[in-house]
Amino acid sequence: MPGEDDRSASADSDEQLLVLPDALRHELKEPMGPIETDADRLLEAVDGPLIAVGDVVTYHFLEAGRPPDVAVVDERTKREAVDEEIRATVTEETTLEATNPPGALSAEMIETLVDAFDREKPTTILVDGEEDLVALPAIVAAPEGASVVYGQPDEGMVHVKVTDDHRAEMRALLERFEGDTERFWDVLE
């Protein structure tokens, strides 16, 4: 029956594919690239697609006049609600929505990220939950030379210029997460 298929597909999309184990948390505290505090200066080093993970990072790029090709926001920064100006600015052009629990990567989040990469126009994904870990699959899925930028609390914006080495490093890290890594890679790729 069509209704049953629709319900089971929806249920699958809510599942947590990967969960960050406590043993890996300390490794994610180290920035994966150089830290910049000035969006204009960071943008000087961007010559391909721009992927922003985080509300404050996305806000800075929008204020600098460079909408990210893909932005992932959750209306929060450092686990607190962002101020109204940031929220209104980063969610104004929301194109897609996804649910993603804290400390995990859901099937729905990964499917939505892949969808965003396939779009021609700048796409903002509004996450119900937490977007913190989305930078990892974004680095794997982004094209060579793309810039994935995420916030480093109280320090600035971390700029990862995507290379095969970065992808390999993120793949190895994601393989150490708990969950269904095989299905995760099927959804991402």
154 assigned ligand-binding residue: yes
Q: Is 165 marked as a binding-site residue?
A: no
pLDDT at position 144: 93
Q: What would the two tokens of residue 18 be?
A: 């990967």
* 15 carries a ligand binding annotation: no
- What is the distance between the alpha carbons of residues 65 and 54, in angstroms, rounded to a whole number? 17
Predicted TM-score (pTM) of the model is: 0.88
pLDDT at 80: 78
Sheet holding 123-129: strands in order across? 35-36, 156-161, 147-152, 50-53, 70-73, 123-129, 94-100
What pLDDT was estimated at residue 96?
A: 96
Is 36 marked as a binding-site residue? no
3-state secondary structure the chain: CHHHHHHHHHHHHCCEEEECCHHHHHHHHCCCCCEECCHHHHHHCCCCCEEEECHHHHHHHHHCCCCCCEEEECCEECCEECCHHHHHHHHCCEEEEEEECCCEEEHHHHHHHHHHHCCCCCEEEEEEECCHHHHHHHHHHCCCCCEEEEEECCCEEEEEECCHHHHHHHHHHHHCCEECHHHHHHHHC
Tokens linked to 45: 């080093």
**Cβ proximity of 14 and 7 under 8 Å:** no
For the chain, residues with pLDDT lower than 50 are: 1-13
> Which pLDDT belongs to residue 5?
37
Residue 14, pLDDT score: 55
Query: Is 120 annotated as contributing to ligand binding?
Result: no
Q: What are phi and psi of 130, to 5 degrees?
A: -140, 135
Q: How far apart are alpha carbons 151 and 80 in whole angstroms?
A: 14
Classify residue 89 by burial, with Cβ atoms within 10 Å: 0-12, 13-18, 19+: middle
Q: Is 108 annotated as a binding residue?
A: no
Say which residues have a Cβ less than 8 Å from residue 7's Cβ, sequence separation at least 6: none
Tens-place pLDDT, residues 128-148: 999 999 999 999 999 999 999
Cα–Cα distance for residue pair 53/68, rounded to 1 Å: 10
Query: At which residue do the structure tokens 């969610």 appear?
Result: 91
